[in-house]
Copies of this chain bind each other. A is one copy, B any other.
Amino acid sequence: MGEFDLKAYLSRRRQVVEEALEKIFPTTSGLEKKVVDAARYSLFAGGKRLRPILCLAAAEVAGGDIGPVLPAACALEMIHTYSLIHDDLPAMDNDDFRRGVLTNHKVFGEAVAILAGDALLTEAFEHFASCAKEGISPVKVVEVIRIAVKAAGYRGMIGGQAIDLECENRKVSLATVEYMHIHKTGALLSASLEIGAILGGGDEARIKAMRTYGHHMGLAFQITDDLLDVEGDPTLMGKTPGSDAAKNKMTYPALLGVIQSRAAAKEHVESSLEALSGFGEAAEPLRAVARYLLVRKG
């Protein structure tokens, strides 16, 4: 068995996701064109498509095909994109750039940016629902919608963002930072894997394994993200290093130091790999993603 080529895999899967997104969220000629164009601006602004790719990979680990799962994978990317548009708003993080290009409100104005985010969040549920047209049982579709709500709502991502805003310019404990990250980014990452596993027809053990992998992978992702802000290469990151520190954001390196943060990331990567033991070659993409976090440069 040769080395798994993660770069080629991600590039192929990114293309599959981009094409599906283009198909389900096309431009329009109606009076609502501006808000759709604004939503599309951020939806096609060069995202890594990590959540949909993880969702599809989990569906394959569960023994399913990616086709019927694609609408849900796109829905997860739409939720992620809406959260970025709203997080960047002047009232929130007030960011002018994201992935190297102007943020949504800098191009379309605040009102349209708020509506574009609202539209992406709303339409996401259409695409979870439309998995039922792809032969997936409505019972599973309803289950997946409830998982998505829990991960994206105040018990997940929105709660994490609220905590993040509260903690700015305040000294908080490592436990609080971890709680914040588990909600703000971890919940949707973990849900992406769980949703993929359910829609892919996985049994309870596989669904649980995907959840556990997602939990640890999500934390490793966040810690290495924080580390990049300290050590990263701005040309690869699409944002300026040091921006977290400049905003007094509580980060892992700020709380633990760089060395201990690296050790924590490594530990979470190992735990995520452990969750995949016994799943053979189907889980190779997920293993490669987790390992990659320890050497990522952007």
Chain A residues packing against B (C-beta within 8 Å):
28, 30-32, 34-36, 39, 82, 86, 89, 91-92, 109-112, 114-115, 117-119, 121-123, 125-126, 128-130, 132, 137-139, 141-142, 145-146, 148-150, 152-155, 158-163, 165-166, 176, 179-180, 183
Do B154 and A130 have beta carbons less than 8 Å apart?
Answer: no
Complex CA distance for A163 and B33, rounded to whole angstroms: 9
Do B114 and A89 have beta carbons less than 8 Å apart?
Answer: yes
25 contacts between A and B (CB under 8 A): A31-B176, A31-B179, A32-B154, A32-B159, A34-B166, A35-B158, A35-B159, A82-B118, A91-B111, A92-B114, A114-B114, A121-B121, A122-B152, A123-B149, A123-B154, A126-B145, A126-B146, A126-B149, A126-B153, A129-B146, A130-B146, A137-B138, A138-B138, A138-B142, A145-B145
CB neighbours of A121 from chain B (8 A): 118, 121-122
Identical subunits present: 2
Cβ of A199 to closest chain B Cβ, rounded Å = 13
Task: Select one of B115, B126, B166, B183 contacting A162, CB under 8 A.
Answer: B115
Complex CA distance for A158 and B153, rounded to whole angstroms: 19
Do B141 and A114 have beta carbons less than 8 Å apart?
Answer: no
CB neighbours of A161 from chain B (8 A): 115
Do A145 and B129 have beta carbons less than 8 Å apart?
Answer: yes
Cβ of A94 to closest chain B Cβ, rounded Å = 10
Cβ of A83 to closest chain B Cβ, rounded Å = 8
Cβ of A72 to closest chain B Cβ, rounded Å = 13
Do B125 and A125 have beta carbons less than 8 Å apart?
Answer: yes
CB neighbours of A28 from chain B (8 A): 154
